[in-house]
Amino acid sequence: MIRRGLSYGMLSTRRRASTLLLPMLTTATGAFLVVQVFSLTGSVKVQASAFGNKDQFFRATLLIAVVVLLVGVVEVAVCTTRTINQRTREIGVLGATGVSRSPVVAALMVEPIVAAFGGAVCGSILAIVVDGVLSATGGSSAEPELGPTAVGVTLAVLISIASAAVTSIVPSWHAASRPPIRSLSHGG
């Protein structure tokens, strides 16, 4: 039954794709910064040593990038809450027709997770392309490192997905737990 909920969630996500552009863009910006910080780890530490403690400077730079990434995820959560509020009657119909809570929650969770994943992947790819272009054209004296870049991409994607799931589960669960008659008659 959860598989059907996921299928329904994917259908709904495709239908509402245009509403996901801003959350994806914000998440992509954060992912871009996280990947940039990791890919240029060596260069950042060398430059930071001129300012004092290079490890503290790197951690501060990484913290700023992660905060921007989390702002994108909060945008995804806000979008999820808005989506749930717009779909209260639909959720009520699903409950009234006997669909249990788990498939409804699964359907509602697809959208934020897809938005977070898509934004993180797009931002990571853009960071890798920008690093490659700047290196190839001599636009940057810093040489991106493959290992730290892979770590940055992995962290950006995992943090985005986990944060989107954590911030979206409560409103999704609450909406799916509402009695169908309340959703149908009062819209929330």
Please give the pLDDT value at position 181: 84
Mean pLDDT of the 71-83 span: 79
DSSP the chain: -HHHHHHHHHHHHHHTGGGGHHHHHHHHHHHHHHHHHHHTHHHHHHHHHTTS-HHHHHHHHHHHHHHHHHHHHHHHHHHHHHHHHHTHHHHHHHHHTT--HHHHHHHHHHHHHHHHHHHHHHHHHHHHHHHHHHHHHTS-SPPP-HHHHHHHHHHHHHHHHHHHHHHHHHHHHHHHHS-HHHHHHH--
> What does the pLDDT look like over 85-122, one tens digit per residue?
888 888 888 888 888 899 999 999 998 999 999 999 99
Domain extent, residue 172, equals 2-186
pLDDT at residue 155 is higher than 70: yes
> Across the chain, what does the average pLDDT equal?
85
Instruction: Identify the band that residue 163 occupies on the pLDDT scale cut at 50, 70 and 90.
Output: confident
Mean pLDDT of the 43-67 span: 76
Instruction: Identify the band that residue 186 occupies on the pLDDT scale cut at 50, 70 and 90.
Output: low
> What does the pLDDT look like over 25-36, one tens digit per residue?
888 988 898 898
Note whether 27 and 120 are within 8 A (CB): yes
Q: In which residue are the tokens 């400077």 written?
A: 57
- Counting the structural domains of the chain, the total is 1
